[in-house]
């Protein structure tokens, strides 16, 4: 049994935990980062990065199929899944190596092993205790299932979906949220027949309704089948495939069923409650400054209720390190965190949907302008359609931006500045967007809302 003392002990080395460790070390704290698997966590090894690599392969497949549209003759010969895997793993390996180097260079003590909170200031790994003046919990999340729906065999989660060494001919996806539509999009581009099952009335149900409807139209054009507003009942599997039965009696047959119904917090059996932490449905409850009810004990990332996104984890990790340093960092509400869904076409948003803005400010006090990418030169060049919707309070700031179309994820940076800085369209309309860029579509919407539309009526 040994004991080591640090200013800060971080349990879990995913986006939230490692960001906290990096910022804390920058601020001069001694830091122990405890990780049972690989630093980088879900996002780097099983989430954001590998899925976006797959989506890029999917985009290249689509481009090569459609190249004649742009005057380039090429032949699409198929998907070499081993090569796709090598490319995906290569991207992850490089980023992992870089992250390990960074953590080391910052002088952070990394501890390999499974940690458990044994007091509000102590994490035990095996026989060793790591004691912190402050402790940050960052144990992340796992792929959830539904009651009675067992994962195994042909019923898989995103972890197994990433590792598949073949392209299924026919696949069913349970859940039309971010992870579900991203995998549906990849598999369709890779040549599979895809059916999405979603209990709520729309795909990407957390988005502005107009965006959900546009995505549904786009997926229909891509022949991605989806069943909306209908609940899953059960699944039977045999050597050849699965039969998914829905509550309305319909059945969907496929080779595989991907269960993408959300992610649950990893908090069970880790000593959290015994240390005095309040747990609600598995999530760690904190105040808005991310402190649990126990002084000096903080939580960040997917275990804190709210949006489960890597960049929220980064921000929360930085926030807590700065909070401990007494720097009084600002709180960013979840609604003002940018969200991108990287399917084809992409969806990106920030702030209030039009409906929520109208509910909050009153319909007569809100104006939304939906700029069609049909009017945007660069989008025409790329061959994409879609729209950029900007929601403002009348005589007030921009409170929401909602976009759909190829590459619109790259436009979210400007949108998040506008919303978080509470910019008025009149303030930013005079600034210049380079031509021809897709960015101009935001500029056109700002100009319109400032009462001086350029390429629109």
Ligand X SMILES: Cc1cc2nc3c(=O)[nH]c(=O)nc-3n(C[C@H](O)[C@H](O)[C@H](O)COP(=O)(O)OP(=O)(O)OC[C@H]3O[C@@H](n4cnc5c(N)ncnc54)[C@H](O)[C@@H]3O)c2cc1C
Q: Which of 56, 311, 435, 455 is catalytic?
A: 435
Count CB atoms within 10 A of the CB of residue 109.
17
Count CB atoms within 10 A of the CB of residue 332.
14
Pick the closer one to ligand X by CB: 15 or 384.
15
- Would you state the torsion angle of the CA atoms of residues 22, 25, 31, 35, taken in this order, to the nearest 10 degrees? 10
Any contact of residue 310 with ligand X (CB under 6 A)? yes
Binding ligand X by CB under 6 A: which of 13, 271, 351, 443?
13
Distance from C-alpha of 65 to C-alpha of 62, rounded to nearest angstrom: 5
Closest distance to ligand X from the beta carbon of 76 (Å): 26
Count CB atoms within 10 A of the CB of residue 3.
10
Pick the closer one to ligand X by CB: 141 or 379.
141
Confirm if 409 and 342 have CB atoms less than 8 A apart: yes
Length of the chain: 457
Binding ligand X by CB under 6 A: which of 261, 299, 309, 419?
309
Distance from C-alpha of 303 to C-alpha of 323, rounded to nearest angstrom: 19
Instruction: Give the per-residue contact string, 252-271, with ligand X (x = CB under 6 A; - = no).
Output: --------------x---x-
Binding ligand X by CB under 6 A: which of 179, 203, 224, 401?
179
Closest distance to ligand X from the beta carbon of 333 (Å): 17
Tokens of 442: 């935001």
For the segment 24-43, give every residue that binds ligand X (CB under 6 A).
34-37, 41-43
Whether 56 is catalytic is no
Any contact of residue 308 with ligand X (CB under 6 A)? yes
Any contact of residue 122 with ligand X (CB under 6 A)? no
Closest distance to ligand X from the beta carbon of 220 (Å): 24
Pick the closer one to ligand X by CB: 151 or 450.
151
Any contact of residue 144 with ligand X (CB under 6 A)? no
Q: By CB under 6 A, how many residues form the interface with ligand X? A: 36
DSSP 51-90: HHHHHHHHHHHHHHHTGGGGT---------HHHHHHHHHH
Confirm if 251 and 238 have CB atoms less than 8 A apart: no
Instruction: Assign 3-class secondary structure to 170-200.
Output: EEEEECCCHHHHHHHHHHHHCCCEEEEEECC
Q: In what order do the strands lie in the sheet with 242-246?
A: 232-237, 242-246, 251-254
For the segment 272-301, give every residue that binds ligand X (CB under 6 A).
301
Any contact of residue 16 with ligand X (CB under 6 A)? yes
**Pick from 225, 236, 305: nearest CA to 264:** 305
Any contact of residue 48 with ligand X (CB under 6 A)? yes
Pick the closer one to ligand X by CB: 37 or 225.
37
Footprint on this chain of ligand X (rule: CB under 6 A): 11-17, 34-37, 41-43, 46-48, 51-52, 114-115, 138-141, 158, 179, 266, 270, 301-302, 308-311, 313
Q: Annotated catalytic sites, by residue?
A: 435
């Amino acid at each position: 049994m040994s004991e080591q003392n640090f200013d800060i002990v971080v349990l879990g080395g995913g986006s939230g935990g490692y960001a906290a460790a990096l910022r804390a070390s920058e601020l001069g704290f001694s830091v122990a980062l405890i990780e049972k698997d690989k630093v980088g966590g879900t996002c780097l090894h099983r989430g954001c990065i590998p899925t976006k690599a797959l989506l890029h392969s999917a985009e290249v497949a689509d481009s090569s199929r459609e190249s004649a549209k742009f005057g380039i003759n090429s032949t699409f010969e198929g998907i070499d899944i081993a090569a796709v895997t090598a490319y995906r793993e290569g991207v992850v390996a490089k980023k992992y190596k870089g992250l390990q180097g960074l953590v080391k260079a910052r002088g952070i003590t990394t501890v390999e092993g499974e940690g458990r909170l044994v007091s509000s200031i102590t994490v035990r790994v095996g026989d060793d205790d790591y004691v912190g003046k402050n402790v940050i919990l960052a144990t992340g999340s796992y792929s959830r299932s539904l009651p009675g729906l067992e994962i195994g065999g042909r019923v898989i989660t995103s972890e197994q979906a990433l590792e598949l060494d073949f392209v299924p001919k026919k696949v069913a996806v349970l859940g039309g949220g971010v992870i579900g539509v991203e995998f549906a999009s990849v598999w369709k581009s890779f040549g599979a027949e895809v059916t999405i099952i979603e209990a709520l009335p729309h795909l990407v149900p957390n988005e502005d309704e107009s965006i959900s409807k546009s995505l549904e139209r786009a997926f229909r054009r891509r022949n991605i089948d989806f069943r909306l507003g209908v609940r899953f009942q059960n699944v039977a599997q045999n050597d050849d495939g699965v039969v998914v039965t829905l509550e309305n009696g319909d059945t969907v047959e496929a080779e595989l069923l991907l269960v993408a119904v959300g992610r649950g917090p990893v908090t069970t059996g880790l000593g959290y409650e015994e240390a005095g932490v309040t747990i609600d449905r598995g999530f760690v409850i904190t105040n808005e400054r991310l402190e649990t009810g126990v002084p000096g004990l903080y939580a960040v990332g997917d275990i804190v209720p709210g949006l489960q996104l890597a960049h929220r984890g980064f921000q929360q990790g930085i926030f807590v390190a700065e909070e401990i340093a007494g720097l009084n960092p600002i709180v960013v509400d979840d609604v003002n965190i940018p969200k991108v869904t990287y399917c084809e076409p992409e969806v990106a948003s920030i702030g209030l949907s039009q409906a929520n803005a109208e509910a909050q400010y009153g319909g007569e006090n809100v104006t939304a302008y939906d700029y069609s990418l049909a009017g945007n030169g660069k989008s025409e060049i790329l061959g994409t359609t879609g729209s950029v919707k900007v929601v403002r309070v009348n005589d007030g700031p921009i409170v929401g931006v909602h976009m759909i179309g190829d590459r619109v994820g790259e436009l979210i940076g400007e949108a998040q500045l506008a919303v978080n800085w509470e910019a008025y369209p009149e303030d930013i309309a005079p600034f210049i967007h380079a031509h021809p860029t897709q960015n101009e579509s935001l500029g056109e919407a700002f100009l319109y809302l400032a009462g001086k539309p350029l390429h629109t009526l």
